[in-house]
Amino acid sequence: MTKLPKSVRNGIVAVLLLCALPAAYAGCLQIVGNVHTVEPDLVYRSAQLGPAALQKLIDAHHIRSILNLRGTHRDAAWYRDETLVAAGSGVEEIAIGISADEEPSPETLARIEAAVRDAPKPLLIHCKSGADRSGLASAIYEYAVAGRPAAVADGQLSFFYGHFPWLISRTGAMDEAFVDFVQRREASRAFAAGDSQP
């Protein structure tokens, strides 16, 4: 068997390390629940939390509503646990099921916008990992409700939160959904401005 030159072996090791570091970071986010502040005292985001962690977050931030982007799953233990904790704390539950791999319909995006705008605050937004679907809903909040520029709001869909839309991942659908949401909003504003012209 031919031995690879040292420079090639070192290159392979470097590439493996570069791949391992992001994977380790994403793993750490999951271990700690991927909890982040979107807007202080108003909106938070997370992965799916266990009952104790969820209760702790509700108590610490006085959460009044939860937007669950995994949908209603009455037979799943995580869903039963979450609804019990929420009910026991007087927290409103809103369930809008979307996939991280498929762009939601405009109607579903409108439901998410209404939820992040109208839900009692402070609001917790979550999905399974807290990276993709939560990122989309947080970006919609930042853009449509908080009035941040789209380029700033888009930061909610970043690797900082574990969002990885590259290589074989199909979670780029969340980025595409946000771009489409912004384009529809901008087109609607342009149309309304045109109608108001004499």
Whether residue 145 lies inside any domain: the answer is yes
Query: ∠90-41-117 over CA atoms, to 5°?
Result: 75
pLDDT the model gives residue 3: 78
Whether residue 183 lies inside any domain: the answer is yes
Whether residue 194 lies inside any domain: the answer is no
The 92-95 sheet, strands edge to edge: 36-39, 43-46, 123-126, 65-68, 92-95
Whether residue 3 lies inside any domain: the answer is no
Number of independent structural domains in the chain: 1
Q: CA nearest 44: which of 59, 56, 55, 57?
A: 57
Whole-structure pTM value: 0.85
Range of the domain at 133: 35-188
pLDDT the model gives residue 54: 98
pLDDT the model gives residue 192: 82
CATH of the domain at 158: 3.90.190.10
As a whole number of angstroms, the distance between CA 141 and CA 92 comes to: 18
| Res. 25 pLDDT band, cuts 50 70 90 | very low
Whether residue 99 lies inside any domain: the answer is yes
Whether residue 79 lies inside any domain: the answer is yes
pLDDT digits 0-9 by tens, 70-115: 999 999 999 999 999 999 999 999 999 999 999 999 999 999 999 9
Whether residue 198 lies inside any domain: the answer is no
